[in-house]
Amino acid sequence: MNFARTFAKKIIRRMGWDLIKLESSFAEDLALNNLLHIVQPVAILDVGANTGQYADFVRRCGYRGLLVSFEAAREAHAHLMRRAANQPRWSIAPLAAVGSHSGSIEMNIAGNSVSSSILPMRRLHEEAAPQSRYVATERVPLDTLDNLASPLIPGIGPLFLKIDTQGYEKEVLRGAAKLLPRIAGIQLELSLTELYEGAPTFSEMLSLLTQLRFELHAIAPGFRDQRSGQLLQIDGFFASSHHVPQP
């Protein structure tokens, strides 16, 4: 720490404040808390739940309402079922990939589990995170969010949707046409460069969400290439203009 920074910290502390390093997880905490406070959802839909990392995150942020998790990878889904068994406010949807139609599809399983995707992985992603390389494939059911969520959520009230499907976000939204009028807030990954073949670009996702009348509320840094420091993904937080009062 250099002299100027040390001196600045002393002055600020005398004023009753302190300097802290703003970490990406802290930025995500703030963004989520702010949006949940505005939205007041009756349920959070966690699409691409993996083994429940997001469930842990929202509970740490203070959310105590209904959480519904969706996961396609068999091992991760089984882990979710075990974790949620004694938690009445946490429901796990039947094993299925969430997309724009019903059927079945090949799921690529990543070595680190969290990077598993329906789409082929680009070389840049593999090089930035070697542990994310695909190690297996699974044939899994495919269904829409409309079909999967409806039996598990209250019949009325605003919803909050989180999508972490490694490039398949657009297909998830296409399969949620009936639910979209109730979705008041969305958190999803936005790729700043193509990490999965055929995944929508950052600008394409912003355009789609604008068409659906969602406005960008906040962003938080996400996946970064540790070799170069290049930011590859961010989390975007969106509020529906149908639900959020305009200034």
Q: pLDDT band at residue 5, thresholds of 50, 70 and 90?
A: very low
pLDDT in tens, 22-76: 344 568 889 999 999 999 999 999 999 999 999 999 999 999 999 999 999 999 9
Give the count of beta carbons closer than 10 Å to the beta carbon of residue 204. Answer: 13
Cα–Cα distance between 100 and 49 in angstroms, integer? 18
Print burial letters for 130-150: b (CB count within 10 Å at least 16), e (below 16).
eebebeeebebebbbbebbbe
Tell me, what's the pLDDT at 14? 54
What would the two tokens of residue 145 be?
Answer: 């969010």
Domain residue ranges of the chain, discontinuous segments joined by +: 3-240
Say what the pLDDT of residue 225 is.
83
Chain mean position to CA 81: 19
List the CATH code of the domain at 3-240.
Answer: 3.40.50.150
